[in-house]
A and B are shown apart, each in its own frame.
Chain A
Amino acid sequence: MATPKDMLTTWDKVQFGAVLPSFEDPEHKKRSKFHSYNYTVADWRVEKPVFNRELCIDCDYCWVFCPDSCFQVEEVVNKRGKKQAKIVGINYNLCKGCGVCVEVCPTPIKSLLMFPEYVDNEEALKQWPKKD
């Protein structure tokens, strides 16, 4: 039973031909209630990745390899005037806790680490390994 209760409708109100619109407002790219972006798979997780902005070099490996499109980016312009993506956070609604992002993170002390789901992010950042 994958459908949240508030989404369940009756036979006379189902989507015509089971066709689902991606956007509620296509002009402004506002995704519809039928978009899985508005669903959550957070309860699949046992462990979660925690992101340490301090250590991040914005290589964007986590963005490209994340199977669940969790990494939130902000478009910024670098010193040489080129646009680049800055990682600003993780969408925990979409994260299943696979750990790929941590594996591909190349910084000497990883800027992404897995922590048990119950550990608070602030607490996790405090526990981060330090340089020797």
Chain B
Amino acid sequence: MKKIGSLKEFACTPDRFQGGHRLCPGCAHSMIVREVVNATDDDLVISTATGCLEVCSAIYPYTSWDVSWIHIGFENAAAAIAGAEAMHKALARKDRLYNDDRRVKFVAFGGDGGTYDIGFQSLSGAVERGHDFLYVCLDNENYANTGGQRSSATPIGAHTSTTPRGRVSYGEKQRKKDLTMIMAAHGCPYVATAIPGSKHWKDLATKAAKAISTVGPTFINALSPCTTEWKFKPEDTVEIADLAVETCAFPLYEIEDGHKLTINYRPKQKLPIEEYLGAQGRFSHLFKPENKWIIEEWQKQVDEYWDYLQRREEAGV
């Protein structure tokens, strides 16, 4: 496992995901991806589900990757990496590895659409079969690649292009699906949440290093603030991510062996949810008097979940 020390040290890592890609200015996806691929010195084979990261990092005739990479479809990043990992096992057994002096690790990236929704079956299957890989969900809570449609990761009250706010609607009606817990319930040896937040670059890199070096299927759900669809200024990406953890809208925790939960960050003073919601255009309508109850509901859910996490951690279950 690569030791993640100071940022001064980490920044000496030769970057394996390069610029010249076509992601939006200020996109959190590439912040997360860079930290993940730089969190190990082992060679990598990566699969990526159809989505922003995929279309923007491999627009023919260009690739942004310094590591082996494959994209097949929207719903099969996990199956694709499972196949590559199986091939690695087979060739190792048959003594036919291409560079047997090097260690190879397997990572899959998918957006929330490709992970929570259409790719969930393939992810669940690959994890259940115990392939040795890390799956990173770049959770920007909507189908940003196709113009901001809702996904099952979209939180209540959010305006999206398929759950627009309107004269009679306040936007998305359902709560965000708790995918991290669902993945933990698969019995993965390691599951964690992460963000590209100013205080939390090390939390993310350490989690990635830990997950990659863990034998078996591991999962990181990384909140990826989307400047375009969440409607905030590109330079504020890191700040929005910070607000998500300071309000406990997206708490940072990890679960080992399917049950042992550890909270990785506790805000000194939990900020009210308005701070997070108010910073994003997708929630601006919630501040109208008639929608006040949604913010109250949000706060209640956040408090309950935060309480639940703390009680689980305390009980060691």
Q: Which A residues form the contact surface with B (CB < 8 A)?
A: 2-3, 7, 15, 18, 20, 22-23, 29, 31, 34-41, 44, 58-61, 63-70, 73, 75, 78, 82-85, 91, 93-100, 102-104
Contact in complex: B12, A83 (CB < 8 Å): yes
Query: In the complex, what distance in Å separates the CA atom of A37 from the CA atom of B11?
Result: 18
Shortest distance between the CB of B249 and any CB in chain A (Å): 20
Interface residues of B in 46-71 (CB under 8 A from A): 57-67
Residues of A within 8 A of B67 (CB): 22
Question: Which residue in A60, A93, A99, A104 is a CB contact (below 8 Å) of B234?
Answer: A99
B58 partner residues in chain A, CB cutoff 8 A:
20
Q: Add 17 more A-B contacts to A34-B63, A40-B20, A82-B8 (CB < 8 A).
A: A31-B66, A34-B61, A35-B64, A36-B18, A36-B59, A37-B20, A60-B7, A61-B198, A66-B19, A67-B27, A67-B30, A84-B6, A85-B9, A94-B20, A99-B234, A100-B237, A103-B239
Would you mind naming 28 contact pairs between A and B with Cβ atoms under 8 Å apart? A2-B59, A7-B61, A15-B61, A20-B58, A22-B66, A29-B14, A34-B63, A36-B63, A41-B20, A60-B7, A64-B7, A64-B10, A65-B31, A65-B196, A65-B201, A66-B31, A67-B25, A67-B26, A69-B15, A69-B18, A83-B12, A85-B11, A96-B25, A98-B26, A98-B235, A99-B234, A100-B238, A104-B198
Could you say which of A2, A18, A20, A97 contacts B22, with CB atoms under 8 Å apart?
A2
Q: How far is the CA of A71 from the CA of B222 in the complex (A)?
A: 23
SS class, residues of chain A in contact with chain B = loop
Closest-CB distance, B244 to chain A (whole angstroms) = 15
Residues from chain A with a CB closer than 8 A to the CB of B238 are 65, 100, 103-104
B235 x A39 contact (CB < 8 A): no
**Cβ contact of A35, chosen from B63, B234, B235, cutoff 8 A:** B63
A2-B22, A67-B25, A94-B19 as given contacts; A58 in contact with B8, CB under 8 Å: yes
Q: What is the CB-to-nearest-CB distance from B290 to chain A, in angstroms, rounded to a whole number?
A: 34
B63 proximity list for chain A (CB < 8 A): 20, 22, 34-36
Question: Distance (Å) between the CB of B140 and the closest chain A CB?
Answer: 13
Contact, CB under 8 Å: A68 / B201: no
Task: Judge if B21 is at the interface, Cβ distance under 8 Å.
Answer: yes
A103 touches B235 (CB 8 A): yes
CB distance from A23 to the nearest CB of B (A): 8
Give min CB distance, B230 to chain A, whole Å.
Answer: 15
Interface string of B221-248 (1 = CB under 8 A from A): 0000001000001111111000000000
Which of A63, A82, A91, A103 is within 8 Å of B19, CB to CB? A91
- Most A CB within 10 A of own CB, among B9, B18, B58, B65: B18
**Cβ-defined partner of B31 (8 Å) among A22, A35, A67, A102:** A67
Contacts of A41 in B (CB 8 A): 19-20, 22
